[in-house]
Amino acid sequence: MNVKANPFSLLSRSQSYFRYTTNLYQVRCLQSIALRREDKSHWERRVALTPDTVSRLIKETGVRIYVQPCNKRVFNDNKFRNAGAIVQEDISNADVILGIKEVPAEHLIPNKTYIFFSHTHKGQLYNMPMLQDVLDKKIRLIDYELMTDSQKRRLVLFGTHAGYAGMIDGLHGLGRRLLGLGYNTPFMHIAMSHTYKSLDSAKSTVKDIGATIADEGLPNDFSPMTFVFTGTGNVSNGVQQIFKCLPHEYIEVKDLKECVMTPHKFSNHKVYGCQVYLQDYLIRTDTGKFDTKRHYYENPKNYESLFHTKIAPYTSMLIHGSYWDSRYPRLITKEQLREIQENSNNRRLLCIADISCDIEGALEFSHSTTIDDPFFYFDAVKEVEHKKDEGEGTQIMPVDILPTEIPLESSEHFSRSLYPFMKDLINGTIDNSPVLSNATIAKDGQLMGVHTKLYEFLLRNNISQIQEMEITSSFSNKPN
Q: What is the pLDDT of residue 358?
A: 85
Is omega for the bond preceding 329 within 30 degrees of 0, making it cis?
no
Please name the residues in contact with 435: beta carbons below 8 A apart, sequence gap of 6 or more: 147, 148, 149, 155, 421, 424
3-state secondary structure the chain: CCCCCCHHHHHHHHHHHHHHHHHHHHHHHCCEEEECCCCCCCCCCCCCCCHHHHHHHHHHHCCEEEECCCCCCCCCHHHHHHCCCEECCCCCCCCEEECCCCCCHHHCCCCCEEECCCCCCCCCHHHHHHHHHHHHCCCEEECHHHCECCCCCECCCCHHHHHHHHHHHHHHHHHHHHHHCCCCCHHHHCCCHHHCCCHHHHHHHHHHHHHHHHHHCCCHHHCCCEEEEECCCHHHHHHHHHHCCCCEEECCHHHHHHHHHCHHHCCCCCEEEEECCHHHHEEECCCCCCCCHHHHHHCHHHEEECHHHHCHHHCCEEEECCCCCCCCCCCECHHHHHHHHHHHCCCCCCEEEECCCCCCCCECCCCCECCCCCCEEEECCCCEEECCCCCCCEEEECECCHHHHCHHHHHHHHHHHHHHHHHHHHCCCHHHCHHHHHCEEEECCEECHHHHHHHHHHHHHHHHHHHHHHHHHHHHCCCC
Q: What is the pLDDT of residue 13?
A: 37
* Highest mean pLDDT pick, 9-23, 69-83, 149-163, 423-437: 69-83
Residue 354, strand partner residues: 320
The values of phi and psi at residue 81, to 5°, are -60, -45
Question: How do residues 165-182 score in pLDDT, each as one tens digit?
Answer: 999 999 999 999 999 999
Q: Is residue 437, in this structure, part of any structural domain at all?
A: yes
| Domain's final residue, options 358, 380, 405 | 405
Same domain? 321 vs 465: no
The pTM assigned to this predicted structure is: 0.85
Residue 443, strand partner residues: 446
Same domain? 214 vs 350: yes
Same domain? 123 vs 223: no
Q: Is residue 260, in this structure, part of any structural domain at all?
A: yes
Q: Is residue 68, in this structure, part of any structural domain at all?
A: yes
145: pLDDT strictly greater than 60: yes
Same domain? 262 vs 345: yes
Q: Is residue 67, in this structure, part of any structural domain at all?
A: yes
Residue 332, strand partner residues: 363
CA atoms of 398 and 355, how far apart (whole Å) = 6
CATH of the domain at 267: 3.40.50.720
Angle CA(417)–CA(422)–CA(424) in degrees, nearest 5? 115
Evaluate whether 314 touches 357 at the Cβ level (below 8 Å).
Answer: no
Angle CA(298)–CA(303)–CA(305) in degrees, nearest 5? 130
Same domain? 125 vs 189: no
Q: Is residue 345, in this structure, part of any structural domain at all?
A: yes
Confidence of residue 31 (pLDDT cuts 50, 70, 90): confident
Please name the residues in contact with 460: beta carbons below 8 A apart, sequence gap of 6 or more: 125, 128
Q: Is residue 9, in this structure, part of any structural domain at all?
A: no
Q: What is the pLDDT of residue 464?
A: 62
Same domain? 138 vs 163: no
Evaluate whether 118 touches 127 at the Cβ level (below 8 Å).
Answer: yes
The values of phi and psi at residue 173, to 5°, are -65, -35
Q: Is residue 5, in this structure, part of any structural domain at all?
A: no
Residue 412, domain extent: 29-142+407-472
Same domain? 103 vs 206: no
CA atoms of 365 and 134, how far apart (whole Å) = 31
> How many structural domains comprise the chain?
2
Please name the residues in contact with 394: beta carbons below 8 A apart, sequence gap of 6 or more: 337, 340, 341, 349, 350, 351, 352, 377, 378, 380
Same domain? 101 vs 220: no
CA atoms of 395 and 356, how far apart (whole Å) = 16
CA atoms of 138 and 109, how far apart (whole Å) = 9
The values of phi and psi at residue 442, to 5°, are -140, 150
Same domain? 417 vs 379: no
Question: How do residues 208-253 score in pLDDT, each as one tens digit?
Answer: 999 999 999 999 999 999 999 999 999 999 999 999 999 999 999 9
Residue type, 476: S
| Domain's final residue, options 358, 383, 405 | 405
Q: What is the pLDDT of residue 39?
A: 92
Q: What is the pLDDT of residue 475?
A: 40
Please name the residues in contact with 109: beta carbons below 8 A apart, sequence gap of 6 or more: 91, 92, 97, 137, 139
Of 7-16, 122-131, 149-158, 420-429, least confident by mean pLDDT is 7-16
Question: How do residues 84-134 score in pLDDT, each as one tens digit?
Answer: 999 999 999 999 999 999 999 999 999 999 999 999 998 888 899 999 999
425: pLDDT strictly greater than 80: yes
Same domain? 279 vs 137: no
Of 23-32, 121-130, 420-429, least confident by mean pLDDT is 23-32
How many residues comprise the chain? Answer: 480
Evaluate whether 168 touches 202 at the Cβ level (below 8 Å).
Answer: yes
Same domain? 204 vs 306: yes
| Domain's final residue, options 384, 405, 426 | 405
Q: Is residue 19, in this structure, part of any structural domain at all?
A: no
CA atoms of 152 and 144, how far apart (whole Å) = 13
Same domain? 390 vs 415: no
Q: What is the pLDDT of residue 465?
A: 62
Q: What is the pLDDT of residue 20?
A: 39
